[in-house]
Structure 1
Amino acid sequence: MPTAAEAIAEPTLYGVMITQTAYYYTTYSMDPRWMKIYVAVLFVADTLNSVFNMAWIYGVLINNFGNASALGIGNWLFETEQALTGIIAMQVQLFYAWRIYKLTGQLWLVATVAVPSVIGGLSGVGTAIGVGILPQFSGLQRLKVVVILWLMGAVVCDMIITTVLTWYLRKNRTAYTRTKGLISRMLQLIVSNGLLTAAFAAADVVAYLATTNSYHLIFNFPLCKLYGNTVMSTLNARSMLAPASSTAQYQGDGHVSFDGNTPWRQSSDTPSKSSQGNAGDNTTSRPAQIMVNVETHEMIDIPRQAMMKDGSWSDRDIEGELKSGGVI
């Protein structure tokens, strides 16, 4: 039963969204204010979607327990699912359109993302209006045009975003080891996130067209949560995609230093083993020093000005962007 599956998936995915949002605000307190507002609006919309969906599921499974006809009727709570899914998907996709502009500076690429995104978002709202006019689920088959525009707009937009970002990052991959590894991990995240949302939207379309039953809701209800979680995982990946690497060196000068900072020196009151040995031995070995160098990475927006003439990125320019607190 689709409703039972929704009752399980809904709170699970919302719990992931809560965790990711809390992690974002505790980890990226230095992000621009507009981005914090963007995350807040996204979280509020996702919360409203969860509240409305759970209220509808409660009404169907609890208040109308044993009433099979209730499973085939959509009320105003059900209508909000289509509207909020379209709005949240458009909000996420336009955020990726902004990222594409920051990377490439090409407005025509932004337009290829924005046009299907807006069409899909508005069609989602149109589907909600259509459900209000035809509340019986069997009437959804009469809304094929607007439903297909909604879901296929999401599929096309997600594939364009994945293709453009993958193409651009692969094109500008450099031979620098420090940046090449980061770009490879970014590509893995972009492809996995884009294909996940596109696959669910495509499965929703196929199930909707294949049968008059409401099996397509199995893919439709999680779609809203998947969009919110994918963009949050992208934002939070800045501190997780690039694991720190550390090395240790023994210097033998009697102190320990971390990353070139003020060293901690071993107390002179502690004699070495060699000084406690033969009293006639004039040579004493000092305790070994441990030097720990920690290298960290952060993912940032790389402006076009930070590129070299061959279109690649230099480590020095990237380090400058890191110091300036850039965000990707």
Structure 2
Amino acid sequence: MCGPDIPSDIAGQNGPLLMGYLFSYLLQGILIVQVFIFCSQPTYATDRLPIKVTVWIVFCLEIVSTAFATVSAWYGLASGWGDPRTLINPSWAFAYTPALHGIIALSVQLFFCWRMTLFGSGFVVPSFIATVCLMQSAMAIACGVKIWELPDLDAIYGIIPFVSVWLGGSAFCDIMIAINMVYLLYRAGREADFKATYHLLLRPIMICVETGIMTACSSIMHLVLFLAIRNDNAHFTFLFLTAKLYSNTLLATLNKGQSSWEAELDRIQPSRLSGRTPATVFITTSTSTHKDDEAVLDIGHANIV
């Protein structure tokens, strides 16, 4: 039974936050396993530097994000339990969570923009998507600052424009990245000399579709719940869920499709990616004439430059 100062809909207020904290820990555990698998691959030592840097930056940011979730959970569900003020005045860690999650999403999205340039997409489309990514990240940081400045969470709907641009822009970037990666991989497979190459790229294509749809749907659901349901905190579940999805989909893409992607990249642009010129092979042959005037072809010699 609720006391006189405790709202009757406490489940609707704290329940979504609790689920968000639980999902955060669940996906953090999965992320640790994914990073271990990534580092255990035989190709890790030869992976390109941008790949390694992105993975470790995202992983470190996710550790900080989990620490923020822990502080927020402790404040609302432990030290502040029974105090109705914790429902409308969250901790500092909760206020800055949107900013941190916007930076995580930006890191993953810029990584895929870089990959699009490697697949021959040029710089126009990736630059446009990267600009939108920067905009959504800036709005996420602005949301964190605004939440910190709010007198309480009852006034959170005063920052609807910032939240709409943040979540809407994030979903737009995810969809555009998925569409462009699928197109580029499909085109590379069709232009390949062997049909086996096209079938090899089917798996990365499916991974791009699945991961892009997953993160986009999470952002869209967050925005829809934020705008449509204002009598509880249902949308806060996705606040802690979406960033973890970004990091896990990044590692899932690398772990499941890395070999196929790298093989096709090396086939398309060997000199650009490896930084060296392709080997040139000159074949020379010599002939010897026997007494019976029959020309016999000796073993050819190959000189590799």
User: How has the CA–CA distance of structure 1 residues 25 and 208 changed in structure 2, closer, same or farther, with 3 Å as cutoff?
Assistant: same
Equivalent pairs counted in the alignment come to 253
Distance in 2 (alpha carbons) for counterparts of 1:299 and 1:83: 36
Distance in 2 (alpha carbons) for counterparts of 1:147 and 1:80: 14
Please give the residue correspondences for 1:1-328 in structure 2 after superposition, counting only pairs within 5 Å.
1-27=15-41, 28-174=44-190, 176-212=194-230, 213-238=232-257, 299-302=263-266, 304-305=268-269
Q: Percent identity?
A: 25
Distance in 2 (alpha carbons) for counterparts of 1:129 and 1:203: 23
User: How has the CA–CA distance of structure 1 residues 25 and 7 changed in structure 2, closer, same or farther, with 3 Å as cutoff?
Assistant: same
Q: Choose between structure 1 and 2: higher helix proportion.
A: 2
Superposed CA RMSD: 2.2
Distance in 1 (alpha carbons) for counterparts of 2:20 and 2:187: 41
Distance in 2 (alpha carbons) for counterparts of 1:15 and 1:80: 22
Would the aligned equivalents of 1:102 and 1:303 in 2 still touch at CA under 8 Å? no
- 1:87-116, CA deviations, whole angstroms, 9 ceiling, x for partnerless residues? 000110000000011112411111221011
What code does the residue aligned with 1:216 have?
Answer: H
What code does the residue aligned with 1:204 have?
Answer: H
What code does the residue aligned with 1:193 have?
Answer: T
Structure with the bigger RCO (C-alpha within 8 Å, sep 6+) is 2
After superposing the two structures, state which structure 1 stretch, 115-124 or 165-174, moved more.
165-174
Would the aligned equivalents of 1:49 and 1:80 in 2 still touch at CA under 8 Å? no
Q: Structure 2-normalised TM-score?
A: 0.77
Distance in 2 (alpha carbons) for counterparts of 1:13 and 1:299: 30
- 1:148-195, CA deviations, whole angstroms, 9 ceiling, x for partnerless residues? 111011010001001111122223333733212221111110000000
The Cα shift of 1:127 comes to: 0.2
Please give the secondary structure, in 2, of the residue aligned with 1:199.
helix
User: How has the CA–CA distance of structure 1 residues 153 and 302 changed in structure 2, closer, same or farther, with 3 Å as cutoff?
Assistant: farther
The Cα shift of 1:301 comes to: 2.3
Residue 285 of structure 1: aligned partner: none
The Cα shift of 1:300 comes to: 4.7
* Unaligned ranges ≥5, structure 1: 243-296, 307-316, 318-328
Please give the secondary structure, in 2, of the residue aligned with 1:104.
coil
Distance in 2 (alpha carbons) for counterparts of 1:65 and 1:35: 43
What code does the residue aligned with 2:105 have?
Answer: A
Distance in 2 (alpha carbons) for counterparts of 1:85 and 1:135: 22
Distance in 2 (alpha carbons) for counterparts of 1:187 and 1:105: 16
The Cα shift of 1:202 comes to: 0.3
Distance in 2 (alpha carbons) for counterparts of 1:94 and 1:34: 11
* Unaligned ranges ≥5, structure 2: 1-14, 271-277, 279-305
Distance in 2 (alpha carbons) for counterparts of 1:209 and 1:301: 42
Q: Structure 1-normalised TM-score?
A: 0.72
Please give the secondary structure, in 2, of the residue aligned with 1:29.
helix
